[in-house]
Amino acid sequence: MRLSVDEAFEKYGDRLFAAAFSVCRNQMDADDAVQEALIKYHTHGLDYLSETHVKAWLLRVAINCAKNTASSFWRKNTVVWEEYMDELVFEAPEDGALFDAVMRLPQKYRIAIHLFYFEEYAVQEIAQILRCREGTVKSQLSRGRKLLKNMLMEDWNDDE
């Protein structure tokens, strides 16, 4: 008995996700565990006795993948940046608010803003570092600035 990966995902994807999520309590890690389980299913190429056997095997693999992720060195030794904020010392309170706003930006904008303002790279250098076009860097900087402006204006309006 052998299901295609698409069929296996269609039939058992939600159950695999629920099982993985219950272990790692994180949507992205659960999605990764499901994907890894389906990749292993595809690469092993084993024949199973029944669909029940396929489901059980996939669940076991998804749970094991989730456990590996949950117990990984990286997961155990990461600190959420909000918790780390308390340890940082800024010259002025505004610097802390700016850093917090930059950290809330989507990653692509945050990286471009950081390299441009904090590391003082030129647009051309950032494009080389990120292996993208200068126009892409310029648009990321522009959009990132706009998002920062909106965030800081909201924070400023909330303080009044």
> Which amino acid is it at 110?
R
Q: Helix (H) and strand (E) counts for the chain?
A: 9, 0
Q: Is the pLDDT of residue 24 over 90?
A: no
Task: Tell me the whole-structure pTM to 2 decimals.
Answer: 0.53
Q: Is the pLDDT of residue 81 over 60?
A: no
What CA–CA distance (Å, rounded) separates 12 from 20?
A: 12
Q: What is the pLDDT of residues 46-70, one digit of tens each?
A: 777 788 788 888 988 999 999 898 8
The full set of domain ranges for the chain reads 5-76, 81-159
Q: Do domains 5-76 and 81-159 have the same CATH topology?
A: no
**Class (C level, CATH) for 81-159:** mainly alpha
Max mean pLDDT range (6-15, 120-129, 134-143): 134-143
The dihedral of CA 78, 82, 87, 88: what is its sign?
positive
CA 149 to chain centre: 24
- Burial group, residue 136, by CB count within 10 angstroms (0-12, 13-18, 19+): middle
Max intra-chain CA distance, the chain? 67
Residue 80: pLDDT band with limits 50, 70, 90: low
Q: Is the pLDDT of residue 6 over 70?
A: yes
Is 5-76 assigned to CATH 1.10.3470?
Answer: no
Residue in 62, 64, 149 with CA at minimum distance from that of residue 113: 149
